[in-house]
Each structure stands twice: as C-alpha cells, then as structure tokens.
Amino acid sequence: MAGNEQSIIIKKVKKQVHAHHGGAWKIAYADFVTAMMAFFLLMWLISMTTPEQKQGLADYFAPPNVSRSTSGSGGVMGGTAFDSNGARMPGSKPQVMMTKSTPAAPKSPDTDDLRAAAAGQGTKNGEKDDRSSAEAKEASLNREKVMNAREERSFESAAESIRQAMRDNPDLAELSRNVIIDETPEGLRIQIVDQDGRSMFPPGYAEPYERTRLLLKTVAKTLLRLPNRISISGHTDATPYPGDKGYSNWELTADRANATRRILATAGIPQDRIYQVVGKADSEPLFPEDPYLPGNRRLSLVLLREAPVAPPGFKP
C-alpha cells in the first residue's frame, strides 16, 4: 500500500507586491490648480481695475525711485493711456481751442467792383499764391514739429533730472513713491501724492511738512532751467473739512497751492513763470472709483507746453 501512495506537492505562489507610488503627483497637481486659480484671479483683477489703478500698482511695486509713466497720466498709481494728444485724467476738462473770426465786410457796389478787380488780378497770380500758401503751411508744420520734438526732449531731461536728484539725496529717497511724473496734453506734470502713513501736509493745514518743502525746492532747481510757465493746483479726497463752516476743502487746496507757489518763489522761480494757482478740492479725484483714498490728496505742478509762433503772413 505504501508503494501506491502518491506524493502531494504543495506549490506556494508568492504575490508580487507593487511598489507604492507615493503622493508626489498630488503635490504637483495641487501646485497646478493653485497656479491656475492665481492666474484666473489675476485676469479677473486686471479686467476690473482702471488704468490708473494698474499704474498705481506698478509704481507701488517698482524699485524705490521716481516712477515714470510713459503710458498715461497718471497716478500713484495713476496714469491713463496716451492717445495722439497725450493723457487726460478722468474728470479733467478737455482743452478748448478758441478762434477769433473777422466780421464780414458790408456789401456795396463799390466793394463788389473792388472784389471783381481783385479776383481778376488773382487769376493771374493764382498759381503763385497757391504755391506761397502751401510753402508757408509746410514751413509752419515743420517748425511745429521741430519745436514739439525739442520740447519733448526738454521734458524728458527735466523728469530724469528730478529722479536723479531724489536718488542722490537720502532724505528724499523715501519719498520716491509719493512722486508721479508724466506727460499730459497740458505739459509735463509732477504730482506729489499722499500715501497711507505718509502725507505731504499735516491734516487740515495749508503749510507742508519740512520733507515736502525740501522736495519742492529740489523740483524747483530743475524747473529753473526751463522757460515754460507753471500751473499749480491742490487736490483733496472727498472727506469734508472738519473745521469751521466758513472754511472748506476749496479754501484748503487753494491755500496749499499758494503755499507751494511761495516755496517755489523762495527757490528762485520768477513770479512771471507762474501761470495759475488753483484749489480744486475733490473735483478731480485721482481715483474716481474711491474718492476717499489718500492718493486723491495731492499737489500738481504742470510745466505747460508753449504754443509755437506762426510765421508772419501764415494763414491756416
């Protein structure tokens, strides 16, 4: 019987254990989702913000020097996009071109005869007069282009001089983000803007801080080298003046602009260089969407563009 027994073979099968992949893919996926969320949030913020706020953010995160806006008017933050005529702040008044017309001469038989005679003479010299008129217009246009190009170079040089002066003065370096320099249809604009925790004037007072005086005197050294006239305006936010009823933000901004004029005068700016000194209260906010922001409180100095002089005998 023992010889007929079959041997029992037991086969053990070992299950192959797969290596654990870990959670690295989860981290990568989470980073990807976070990046996409940040991207779409950024796109949403860009679509919801105004050009002034975009420029303000760019100026805020810029290196500590004077921010120069070449695409707008702007401000801490704010500049608007340039068109062919320059930038214009929201709420600002468009430029008005005024022309003076000559009244028509009364009609009479004598004047009709004179006109007929002049017309007959004109037919002889018509081509010559047309050529002279065209040449005069072309000369005027060329003159205007040359003057505009020269003025642009002067403005660029003035802006860079102010920036360099602030970089070279340690007392002014911290104020670099309070200064905005841009070009508008009116001219080169230098804005001294309040920020959170750093105002240019004591609240409710017309006389500036000493650091503001130093900054204005530094700006005046650059303005002295140019012949253009200067417009000075003061601005506040929408917070009402807390003092007496007979004094408001209109008087406060006018007094601050006039105090600025006196500081420029002590720095050597001639009185005939001052074109206007105005207080605008909160009528032209730098941030119309939030008129209570500190950035709406500012001084604005504009180096005005000078219109080119037309050559004698030129008729547009």
The 10s digit of each residue's pLDDT in 209-268 is 999 999 999 999 989 988 899 999 999 999 998 877 789 999 999 999 999 999 999 999
Is the Cβ–Cβ distance between 232 and 257 less than 8 Å?
yes
Q: What percent of the chain is helix, strand and coil (3-state, nearest 5)?
A: 45, 10, 40
Burial class (CB in 10 A: 0-12, 13-18, 19+), 61: exposed
The 10s digit of each residue's pLDDT in 125-168 is 555 566 667 766 666 666 666 677 777 888 888 888 888 888 88
Q: List the one residue out of 216, 219, 215, 254 whose CA is nearest residue 234.
A: 254
Number of CB atoms found within 10 A of residue 214's CB: 16
Count the alpha carbons within 13 Å of 274 in the hemisphere toward its beta carbon.
Answer: 19
The pLDDT-based confidence of 75 (bands split at 50, 70, 90) is very low
What is the strand order of the sheet 274-279 is part of? 67-68, 179-183, 187-193, 298-304, 230-235, 274-279
Would you state the structure tokens that stand for residue 230, as one six-digit string?
Answer: 């200067």
86-108: average pLDDT: 41
The pLDDT-based confidence of 54 (bands split at 50, 70, 90) is confident
Domains in the chain: ranges and CATH: 52-58+69-81+141-304 (3.30.1330.60)
